[in-house]
Amino acid sequence: MSLGTHHGGQGGGVRTDVGEIVAVADRVRGAIETVIEGKPEVLRIALTVLLAEGHLLVEDVPGVGKTMLAKALGRAVDCSVQRIQFTPDLLPSDITGVNVYHQDRREFEFNPGPVFANIVLGDEINRASPKTQAALLECMEERQVSTDGQSRTLERPFMVVATQNPSDMEGTYTLPEAQRDRFMARVSVGYPAPQAELDMIDAHSAHSPLDGLAPVTDAAHVRDLADRVRSVHVAPGMRRYVVDLVNSTRTSPELRLGASPRATLHLVRAARAYAALDGRHYVVPDDIQALAVPVLAHRLLPSPEAGMERLSAEQIVAKLVSRLPVPGPQ
Amino acid sequence: MRALRPLMPTATLVSLVAAVPLLGTIVTGPGWWFPAVLMMVGVAAASALYRLTGWSATAVPFLQIFVMAVLLTPLFAAHTAVLGLIPTSGTFPELVRLLERGIDAVNTGTPPVTGTAGVALIIAVAFAVIAMAADFLAVTARCPGMVGGLLIALLMVPLVVDDGGVAPGAALSAAVGFLVLLSVDMWLRGREWGLPVPDGRDPSVRFLVGLRRAAVAAVSVTAAVLLTLTVPLAVPSLRSDVIHQAADGTYIGNGPGVITTTHPLVSLRSNLASGSDRTVLTYTTDAEEPDYLRMYVLDEFDGVNWAMSPVDADDDSRIEDDLPLSAGWSGEPDGPTATTRISMDSDAPSLDFLPMPYWPRSVDVAGEWYADPGSLMVFTTDSPRTGLSFTVESTSVTPSADELAAAGQAWSAPGSLLALPDDVDPRVAELTETLTEDADSPYERAVALQEHFTGGGFDYDLTPPAVPEGADPLVHFLLEDRVGYCEQFAGAMAVMARQADIPSRVATGYTAGQRMGDGRWAVTTGNAHAWPELYFEGVGWVRFEPTPASADGQGTATVPDYTDGTGGDATDGTGRDEEPERPETEPGPDDEPESDEPTDAPEASATPGGEGTDESAAGPASGSGGWTVPVWLPVAAAVLGGLALVALPALVRTAVRGSRTAALTGGSPAAAAHAAWRELRDTCVDLGVTWDLTESPRATAARLAARGPLPEEARAALWRLALGEESARYAPEPAVVREPREDLRAARAGLVAASGRGDRFRAVLLPRSLAPWRRPRPDLGPAPTAA
């Protein structure tokens, strides 16, 4: 009876075939769970962002498995994975690649940087200088790399999983609002449950669990699934619901900065993927309610009043959601 | 849409025409309403036709004024116009003359006023102006609710000028007219802007909306009628006599019961009818037998009521020294002179006419006061302060019977003091003729008339039975039921005196009142009185007293010695002793209770209440041909009615559920899913289970399932219903719920079983889902403000 255990499969007519998405997603989830245990909701958001072709920001204190999550995701899907360790001295060209002059051939040749991959793991993105952050973020938004006047398109699926330490940690450059807005969702991994931590000790003592992780799908398949997710039905009432929700963040006195129109698009795309992962070919309010905090909260700035009441953006979004009536019968 | 433009002016017209009967209690006579209605039709038609053009509404009032002006001529001054339509130079003066006559009639007449042409003109113009204002409010400004203010103003007119209140039928008619206006407006708005109809496809909603509208209309109409009937009970100045009888035993409070008004007879009636006997004034006097305190003199008889002819307040009539002599008085008055110092009670409403003993010689009073030379009324145009004190020097007019008998035919009095309308019933003249046959002098005729009233044939009653519709009140009093109080006695005797060629008028004011222990005299509202004054050449105006003066009549009235009719030797006062005995010689078995002394008002008015009940009980009994209603029948009817009332919500709820169950099969899958889900919602609301509009169907189902021990069957049914509703709402094609009826039944049964006994009981008897305000609403939180 709990949320998501029933897959609505009744009815007929033309519709997205979501059965395969569920099957693939279950396989990927199963694979990753051999590495990271006890975090099904985080995994679900990560898969949602993958299928919705967005980028994921994983924010938490060091050592809780942020990088492990990203690596496991890249390993479970058989595709190219690149890892960039952001440091204060990292240059933009270290990410995008450089043109190298070949003396013998007397021409420049482009040496693609680590961003040319299906899944790019940006570790501790807030340690890099703003200039370097901006270079990555341009790639994320445009899905192409421009060097010396030439644009090179990045291959689909393209997903940046960036990890960042909370902003008050030492030696960090906080991502500005405009750049946080490029990430479709933000999740916190959080500390594992005691039992999961016990299991972890056993699993990690012998060898790295990543070694045993075999790919369960490939990039072409993911691309195909992402195409199908785009056709998940969003009823007019549901679109209105999303717009109302985003609007309420703009008018709420507790927020200094509301969500952008990009947030609206991200929320709808994520909701489609989330519904498909649940085996539905249409979006329901529950999808939006589950995604509102991960998709919206990192884009918002609480007002000073809300700050004094120690209200976080997550709490404010949850409150807004709990006040908005779901769309009724048309 | 253009074709609908005349609809609002027409609806406004309907609401105003429906309000015309409100004036029915203060205007009598046929046809007074016709010009008003015609003028309003003209004004509304001008608005309606003009608005068809779609031009600026600024011109509408001018057009309406033009139509009013055009209509006035054929309606009121047709004989001065060419072909009855085109005004000539004589038309305007004729209209002004009519208007002045109407204003006079309204100012001096007592309600109900006769609907003469002048009065009809005033009413017609007033209604036309109201129609213009209403047209502006309802059509131009499009705030038809504001027309209600105009209607209330109209309603206040009869309430303020008369004690008779408003007929329930008239109030009902006005209320219905107003509702018509509002509903037309609502309907038009619906066509123009669309109405927030919850869901036209759910038959139960349509049923409920219809039911709610009918209920609102019924409640409004009932409230209008009930308020008309009950408000007069609680507001002293609005009491009508009939209701006063029934209610006086429980009457609370002693607010101002006297309306300061220009109608002396109305204030007289309200003085006498008010249950509380409050002090109006106190005075000290050096006279042994103080005279009556006279305030108003009514010298014009219109066939129904006595009215005061207009008085002038100008420099000539301002009081400076001695008052003018009373007309017909030759030489200096030689009666005993008295000095009376009168203090108005500070709680009593201020009077703009001074109560004074007749015949006043000089008045010492602060402020600007005027005296009417003919009647010696003293009045002011200011509003005098309460608690006024003044001193009057007066000479009492106490001629001997011989002097009066010697007085000849009146020749110096104006002829108007003998004038009577042509339509006074000839039977009154016959009666006067019969009574005065044997009398030789005016004095003997006057005495004969007074004896006719005091001779025992008449009963004193402050609340005389109502005069039948269409009957002449004078004839009714004189010849038929012979029951009345001072107003009837004084008025009738004054009419008959004029018929007997004695100039006469009706005076109103107070009797001398009661002597208090400290030598002062106190006059209360119960001492309000009216009496005739008759004019004798060489003597002047002389008071007569036809009203019974005993405890069964106006208790403090005194019969002047000179009216005793036995000649000079009767001035020993025996006449006064005789008076109280006469009515007791043939008292009716049922007239004693109500003809009590007004000073014992609470007792007096409580007893007539009983009599009123008798009368009302007698009415239906005689109407039903003697068949008496068994005692158990009303009881059984009340019990049945009560049961029906108690069962009504349950029945309505069952009907709603039935209409939804019918929608479960046969319709589209979406309609079925919605109907099932609504029924589930209402079931929860009935049971007092939270229904959160911010929850999706599946979240709601999950919460309901987790709420209590629900059987597996009910949980599964609940889940199927939720998924059905969810797909009906959000999926491109709704899924079919296979057994919605069964699922609904199982889910309902599970929810009911999981609820407490009290909740279940309440859900059946008082289903909260029927109350729209108990339905779940979205809680939108605090209004968004600019961040």
Using a CB-CB distance cutoff of 8 angstroms, which residues of chain B are in contact with residue A322? 694
Tokens of A73: 């995701």
**Which residue type sits at A254?**
E
Residue B418 and residue B501 in contact, taking contact as beta carbons nearer than 8 Å: yes
- Shortest CA gap A251–chain B (Å): 5
Q: Using CA atoms, how far apart are residues A79 and B343, in angstroms rounded to an integer?
A: 112
Tokens of B638: 């009340």
For A230-251, what is each residue's pLDDT tens digit? 888 898 889 999 999 999 988 8
Measured in residues, chain A has a length of 330
User: What parts of chain B have a pLDDT lower than 50?
Assistant: 199-200, 238-262, 567-626, 779-787
A323 touches chain B (CB under 8 A): yes
Q: What stretches of B335-415 adopt beta strand conformation (E)?
A: 337-344, 356-357, 360-364, 370-371, 378-379, 389-395
ipTM: 0.79
Residue A170 and residue A124 in contact, taking contact as beta carbons nearer than 8 Å: no
H-run or E-run covering B8: helix B7-17
How many CB atoms are located within 10 Å of the residue B24 CB?
18
Using a CB-CB distance cutoff of 8 angstroms, which residues of chain B are in contact with residue A328? 693, 729
- Shortest CA gap A284–chain B (Å): 6
For A73-95, what is each residue's pLDDT tens digit? 888 888 888 888 888 888 888 88
Question: What's the pLDDT score for residue B41?
Answer: 94
Among A257, A284, A289, A305, pick the best mutation site for testing chain B contact (most B Cβ within 10 A): A284
Using a CB-CB distance cutoff of 8 angstroms, which residues of chain A are in contact with residue B715? 1
Question: What's the pLDDT score for residue A221?
Answer: 85
Tokens of B505: 């008028």
A4 has pLDDT over 70 = no
The residue among A197, A200, A163 whose CA lies nearest residue A183 is A163
Q: How far is CA B206 from the centre of its chain?
A: 40
- Shortest CA gap A287–chain B (Å): 10
Q: Using CA atoms, how far apart are residues B621 and B627, in angstroms rounded to an integer?
A: 7
Using a CB-CB distance cutoff of 8 angstroms, which residues of chain A are in contact with residue B723? 6, 8, 10
Question: Predicted confidence band at A5 (pLDDT cuts at 50, 70, 90)?
Answer: very low
- Window 217-276 of A: residues touching B by CB (8 A cutoff) are 233, 235, 237-238, 248, 250-253, 255-256, 258
For A126-170, what is each residue's pLDDT tens digit? 888 888 888 888 888 888 887 777 788 888 888 888 888 776 666
Q: What stretches of B265-348 adopt beta strand conformation (E)?
A: 279-285, 293-298, 300-301, 306-307, 337-344
Question: What's the pLDDT score for residue B577?
Answer: 39
What are the distances in angstroms from CA B174 to CA B121, B168, B181, B768?
22, 10, 11, 34
Tokens of B296: 């108003």
Residue A244 and residue A199 in contact, taking contact as beta carbons nearer than 8 Å: no
SS3 B381: coil
Kindly report the backbone phi and psi dihedral angles of residue B356, in degrees, each rounded to the nearest multiple of 5, phi listed first. -145, 150
Q: What stretches of A43-196 adopt beta strand conformation (E)?
A: 56-59, 77-78, 81-85, 97-102, 107-112, 119-123, 144-147, 150-153, 159-164, 185-187
Q: Which of B698, B701, B734 sits opposite A284 (nearest CB)?
A: B698
Question: What's the pLDDT score for residue B245?
Answer: 42
Per DSSP bridges, beta strands B27-28 and B113-114 are parallel
Mean per-residue pLDDT, A165-187: 77
Q: Which of B696, B730, B778 sits opposite A282 (nearest CB)?
A: B730
SS3 B175: helix
Question: What's the pLDDT score for residue B13?
Answer: 93
Question: What's the pLDDT score for residue B238?
Answer: 45
Q: Are the Cβ atoms of A3 and B781 closer than 8 angstroms?
A: no
Question: What's the pLDDT score for residue B40?
Answer: 93
Using the structure block, give the residue that is written with the tokens 């009514």.
B298
Measured in residues, chain B has a length of 787
